[in-house]
Amino acid sequence: MNSRKTSPLAPVRNARRLVARHLASRRPSLALVIPTLHEAKNIQPLLRRVRASLDRCDVAYEVIVVDDDSRDGIEDLIAAISAQDPRVRLVVRRGERGLAGAVLRGWEETEAPHLAVMDADLQHPPELLPKLWEQMDAGADLVVGSRYACGGCLRGWKPMRHLISRIAVWMTLPVQRAGLRTRDPMSGFFMVKRSCIDGIQLQQAGFKILLEILARGEIHSVVEVPFTFGRRYAGASKASARVAFEYLTLLVRLYRQKGRTPSHAELELARTARERQQEQPVSS
Ligand SMILES: Nc1nc2c(ncn2[C@@H]2O[C@H](COP(=O)(O)OP(=O)(O)OP(=O)(O)O)[C@@H](O)[C@H]2O)c(=O)[nH]1
Ligand SMILES: [Mg+2]
């Protein structure tokens, strides 16, 4: 006789697992990448909230955590979650570092037509994901979770960090395209259509991947969704002098390339011409 007692919650858990497996068999339309470096303490609460939020949206999604070989137990934590919900998976990069590179690697791992990114330390509220998706689904090319849009704010920052951040944003104005400017071009919380960045070689170093997408992507519409940037839940910040240096390097490169990237108006003209060509009847 089997003397092991089964938990009364076991049928509920099994049913949840079956639902997750069924949902995972759908082709993902949205892939959310979460870059991690020593974030094991944050990953479980984060993934719980991310899944609860995205489950409320009518979208087939997957979550790809890209870890740079932290060796802090994150592999086991994610293996346990993936066993329940195959929509969550882990990619470990060995011998590589860099937030932007990790995000690009995660996006390479998926064929989803909509790509997203958020930090792992819960400074980006997972509960905002449905709002971002709503705008994507309505047709925006790029949707930015914005700390500086009307209604957004920063919690717990020292005045000096606030000032530096404001100056850094102000320095991006010349490289942002007129008509497509966002108030938070350095946000790490956004969604973008894959087709807008397909074929563009983006910089692997540094933190500020959004700025480069704004400056070089084939973007026609940007929507900002305000949010409150909270405090890190656990663990230590990875922002450093090196990150600031990499930001300045990127900015200099974008200033130099400015004349060579099409403006918003030029992109619109090219799109209209393309649409007209497609509309023309094929003559026999
Ligand atoms: N894979 C990978 N992820 C990274 C790397 N550097 C940072 N991250 C992740 O990128 C996200 C943002 O890093 P944070 O340290 O939170 O940077 P921040 O939010 O600008 O700084 P704080 O406000 O001080 O937290 C977090 O999820 C980090 O774990 C890296 O080299 N590789
Ligand atoms: Mg952070």
Q: Does position 283 have pLDDT exceeding 60, yes or no?
A: no
Find out whether the beta carbon of 66 lies less than 6 Å from any atom of ligand 1: yes
Ligand nearest to the CA of 123: 2
- For atom 29 of ligand 1, the residue with the nearest CA is 36
Residue-level pLDDT at 282: 59
Ligand 1 centroid, distance to 187 Cα (angstroms)? 12
Residue 106, CA distances (Å) to 31, 63, 82, 113, 199 in order:
9, 9, 16, 13, 16
CA 94-100-103 angle, 5° bins: 70
Residue-level pLDDT at 238: 86
pLDDT classification of 284: cutoffs 50, 70, 90? very low
pLDDT classification of 1: cutoffs 50, 70, 90? very low
Domains of the chain in sequence order: 12-234 (3.90.550.10)
Which residue is associated with the tokens 């094929």? 282
For ligand 1, pick from 34, 93, 121 the residue to mutate: most ligand atoms within 8 Å of CB: 121
Find out whether the beta carbon of 248 lies less than 6 Å from any atom of ligand 1: no
Find out whether the beta carbon of 123 lies less than 6 Å from any atom of ligand 1: yes
Find out whether the beta carbon of 237 lies less than 6 Å from any atom of ligand 1: yes
Per-residue pLDDT tens for 239-267? 888 888 888 999 999 998 876 677 777 77
The C-alpha atoms of residue 47 and residue 235 are separated, in whole angstroms, by 16
Find out whether the beta carbon of 89 lies less than 6 Å from any atom of ligand 1: no
Ligand nearest to the CA of 37: 1
Residue-level pLDDT at 4: 58
Per-residue pLDDT tens for 130-186? 999 999 999 999 999 999 998 988 888 888 888 998 999 999 999 898 888 999 999
- For atom 6 of ligand 1, the residue with the nearest CA is 99
Ligand 1 centroid, distance to 112 Cα (angstroms)? 24
Find out whether the beta carbon of 68 lies less than 6 Å from any atom of ligand 1: yes
Ligand nearest to the CA of 67: 1
Ligand 1 centroid, distance to 228 Cα (angstroms)? 17
Ligand 2 centroid, distance to 124 Cα (angstroms)? 8
For ligand 1, pick from 68, 119, 122 the residue to mutate: most ligand atoms within 8 Å of CB: 119
Q: Is the pTM of this model over 0.85?
A: yes
Per-residue pLDDT tens for 2-33? 555 677 777 777 777 777 767 677 799 999 99
Q: What is the 3-state secondary structure (H, E, C) of the chain?
A: CCCCCCCCCHHHHHHHHHHHHHHHCCCCCEEEEEEECCCHHHHHHHHHHHHHHHHCCCCCEEEEEEECCCCCCHHHHHHHHHHHCCCEEEEECCCCCCHHHHHHHHHHCCCCCEEEECCCCCCCCHHHHHHHHHHHHCCCCEEEEECCCCCCEECCCCHHHHHHHHHHHHHHCCCCCCCCCCCCCCCCCEEEEHHHCCCCCCCCCCCCHHHHHHHHCCCCCEEEEECEECCCCCCCCCCCHHHHHHHHHHHHHHHHHHHHCCCHHHHHHHHHHHHHHHHCCCCC
Find out whether the beta carbon of 120 lies less than 6 Å from any atom of ligand 1: yes
pLDDT mean over 48-55:
97
pLDDT mean over 46-74:
97
